[in-house]
Amino acid sequence: MDETADYTLEIQIATRFLDEESTPDDDRYVFAYTIRIRNIGRLPAQLMARHWVITDANGRIEEVHGDGVVGEQPRLEPGEAFTYTSGAVLSTAVGTMEGSYDMVGDDGAQFDAPIPAFTLSIPRTLH
């Protein structure tokens, strides 16, 4: 019997500081993040919306809700992956992001796919 969950996503994240778009003297730090979402479940699912919690080093929290990601609502068959790059602007040199994707399966099942917390940091700030 196959014990693979019906709905499971693997989420991988890579970040980078965009020095050329940042102005530290004005407390503006721009970061890019690339996320790879892979369906490792048994059934297809579609990403409908996203929810982000962005926290800067001063403890300021911003919540972002929106449809899809980068203008798309990708549908992933089992084994398929979708990769996208987006960005965030912080007023501090370090911050974190975490959240979830609102997903719906072909059978109408709705579920949240948690996005693990990750750090946004200018180079040589954290050890």
In a domain, residue 2? The reply is no
Sole residue written with tokens 């990750």: 118
User: For the domain that residue 14 is a member of, what is the CATH number?
Assistant: 2.60.40.1470
pLDDT band at 124 (very low <50, low <70, confident <90, very high): confident
Alpha-carbon distances, residue 109 vs 10, 46, 81 (angstroms): 18, 10, 20
Q: pLDDT by residue (tens digit) across 26-46?
A: 999 999 999 999 999 999 999
- Give a yes or no: residue 1 inside a domain: no
Instruction: Give a three-class secondary structure readout of the chain.
Output: CCCCCCCCEEEEEEEEECHHHCEHHHCEEEEEEEEEEEECCCCCEEEEEEEEEEEECCCCEEEEEEECECCECCEECCCCEEEEEEEEEECCCEEEEEEEEEEEECCCCEEEEEEEEEEEECCCCCC
The parent domain of residue 61 ranges over 9-118
Q: Is 80 exceeded by the pLDDT of residue 86?
A: yes
pLDDT score of 1 more than 60:
no
Residue 29 lies in a domain: yes
Confidence of residue 4 (pLDDT cuts 50, 70, 90): confident
Domain membership flag for residue 124: no
Taking the model in full, what pTM does it have?
0.91
Structure tokens given for 121: 């940091």
The count of structural domains within the chain is: 1
